[in-house]
Amino acid sequence: MKTNAILLTWDRALPGRELLGTELFRDFMKYAEGLKNEGAVESFDVLYLEPRGVGIAGYFVFRGAPQKLTALTERDDWVRMMLRSQMTLKNPALVRGYAGPAIGERMKTWAELIPR
């Protein structure tokens, strides 16, 4: 069972890098639109959260075929964006996950592993 989603989260811009954080967000929105238009991802969502003190200010979720998502994370332009995020944001994180029908498959396996 392969993952079909990528979750990219961040906390906030590092002190003194707020302008760079704003530029990164703008550039990454354009980049994400380009990925969707070229078919590298099926879809993406972005959410900017209200301040809550939980360590996540927002996130992008990319959905697509597992092999395309793996290829995406190996692209030079993706790596450059991730490096920019590390230089600009506090606690950027990338996590692979399951969305849509893949959730049911994952939970079926989970249920099978519950000791009886």
Provide the 10 A C-beta neighbour count for residue 115: 3
pLDDT averaged over the chain? 95
Q: What would the pLDDT profile of 43-95 be if each residue is shown by its tens digit?
A: 999 999 998 877 899 999 999 999 999 999 999 999 999 999 999 999 999 99
Which pLDDT band, with edges at 50, 70 and 90, does 3 fall under? Answer: confident
**pTM exceeds cut of 0.85:** yes
Joined tokens for residue 48: 């900017």
Q: Which residue has the tokens 């200010």?
A: 57
- Domains in the chain and their CATH numbers? 5-112 (3.30.70.100)
CA 7 to chain centroid: 3
* Residue 86 CB-density burial (10 A; 0-12 exposed, 13-18 middle, 19+ buried): exposed
Instruction: Give the pLDDT score at 1.
Output: 64
